[in-house]
A and B are shown apart, each in its own frame.
Chain A
Amino acid sequence: MPQDTLQTPGPSRIASAIRIAACISVAAAGLSHPANAVPAFAQQTGQPCAACHVGAFGPQLKPYGRDFKLRGYTAKDPAVAWRPPIAATVQTSFTHTKADQPGGAARWFAPNNNVALDQASLYYAGRMAPNLGAFIQVTYDGVGRVMHLDNADVRYAREFQIFDEDTDGFDLSAVGGITANNSPTVSDLWNSTPVWGFPFNKSRLAPGPVASALIEGQLGQRVAGTGGYALFNDWVYTEFQLYRGLGRDVLNGTGIVPVSGAPRIEGLVPYWRVAVQHDWDHHSFEFGTYGMHAELYPNGDRSAGTTDSYTDAALDANYQYIVNPDSVTSDMLSAHATWINEQQNLNASRTIAASNGHNTLNSFRADVSYSFAATVTPSIQYFRTGGTADANFYGTPNGSPNSAGFIGEIAYVPFGKPDSLIQWGNIRFALQYVAYTEFNGANRGASNNDALYLSVWFATHF
């Protein structure tokens, strides 16, 4: 699910607009996540959803799901006749916020208790050639009421035997390739990084914090990039990509709005990823770092003659415990955490809007879930964003970007297992509650932004 608005805070002359956006926003862009239960993958591999996904529904990956993505979505069951890997998902929801949102939760919506078609997506998801595959999502956004290109990731992947134990005395092999995609971290294999992190869906009709790091989804679908990645000896993962901002015509053509007033990306945006990971017996772990650097013209305004500079550097960790590794429907514990440090050098915003010259923003998230028989999955997350106060930059009452709270969720997925009566589709019912202890710099009244979100998420292939 792409953001409706690019959430990078801008100069003070649009601070009020930011404030309004924060009030009606469904959550900061970095908190929104794409639908990614893709039955086309299940059809291609002949495997049930539970083989790849925790809780038998995407996007949280198990070891096999990560390997499938690593190898470019190309694994297939030779006994299954090829079909175009087309799939669809539909998300509908009910949102209740603790306090009404004056003027409506969003355009076309009431101040509270809203029923919504969150989104409907169509996917090309699967193998295109022996080493080439793609995940391409087109979404109708039922809140913003616009059709747009959503996440896209096209990959070429293969194995490399660099040294062979029989001939060289030791073994060094890699699985890697090239990815071309439209969002930093969309190519990542783990669910600790922003695009595929928890919560996997959330209300777009509840208030959300105004501040988030740039890498938390703010460039999603507004850039295009390519780069290489490799997993060496099943232990060390490396990835490097370069992105470039998309032009106005391309953004208009792909439905990514707004175009006017959105930050313009100057030059190339490097993205890096290094991780140590391994799976064995019951356990799977990952510990790594990722980050990027970007130069932006705030609100597309070049009048300062210079850019704002953002450097995001993050640490992340994942752990999964599979109670019975012999079973794809085994109970499973999953935990993810990430900490992002953003250094903002606001040379342009300082000139245009009298913001601080330099800000720091930190974002921390940690979640844990336990999936019972790949059917019932309760989860809880703690999140906190904090940093330098800057009233002209963030537009919050006291200038603080700080927000913190918890998200609790329980999901029920009746299908997607080897013995499920329905194999052509799947459905996920989820009850989620977001509770704030601090919201846009204020503790008092933070809980007025708390939200109850009941969602139904349906997926099928064609």
Chain B
Amino acid sequence: MTISPFRSGLALGVATLVVATAAFAATTTDIDQLRQRFTVSKLDVWKGDVVRFVNHDEVRHNVHIIDDRDEHRDVGFQDPGQTLNVTFDKFGTFIVRCEIHQKMKMKIVVH
């Protein structure tokens, strides 16, 4: 069986659209704060994605972000049970920390 150039082009276009949609639609990823640690040490996201930090501990946590240029930004704090959404709308590598529990540290790479 032969596939016409038209059908091949159509299939390629649909595939590209699917991939592009997946790439550009903002998604939300949960990061748990548990036992005074982030549950993952490194996360890859797409530009525009949202990372939701979920405090499962009995104590307050804070989200503090340091970018490639060593610029610091305090995003806020969460009391026990609270969540905090952070949108990563710039490319680069970001270090996320808790200023209260300085051992809590993870890396987020935005593609």
Contacts and interface: CB of A to CB of B under 8 A. Distances in A.
A418 B80 contact: yes
B102 A47 contact: no
A15 interface: no
Interface stretch (B1-9, B14-22, B54-62): B54-62
Given A78-B64, A325-B35, A64 B101 contact: yes
B60 A46 contact: yes
A328 B100 contact: no
13 contacts: A46-B100, A47-B59, A47-B60, A47-B100, A64-B101, A67-B101, A71-B102, A75-B99, A75-B102, A78-B77, A79-B60, A328-B57, A328-B59
B34 interface: yes
B89 interface: no
Given A64-B101, A67-B103, 19 more contacts: A45-B100, A47-B60, A48-B59, A51-B59, A64-B36, A64-B103, A67-B101, A68-B102, A75-B99, A78-B62, A78-B64, A78-B77, A79-B77, A325-B35, A326-B57, A327-B58, A328-B57, A328-B59, A329-B58
Given A67-B102, A326-B35, A418-B80, A77 B58 contact: no
Most buried by A among B34, B74, B101: B101
A428 interface: no
Interface of B: 34-36, 56-60, 62, 64, 74, 77, 80, 99-103
Interface of A: 45-48, 51, 64, 67-68, 71, 74-79, 325-329, 418
A327 B57 CA distance: 7
Given A64-B36, A326-B35, A418-B80, A77 B100 contact: yes
Contacts of A76: 99-100
Given A78-B74, A79-B77, A418-B80, A326 B56 contact: yes
Nearest to B36: A64
B59 A78 contact: no
B53 to A, nearest CB: 15
B27 to A, nearest CB: 23
A162 to B, nearest CB: 15
B56 A77 contact: no
A48 B59 CA distance: 8
A46 B13 CA distance: 55
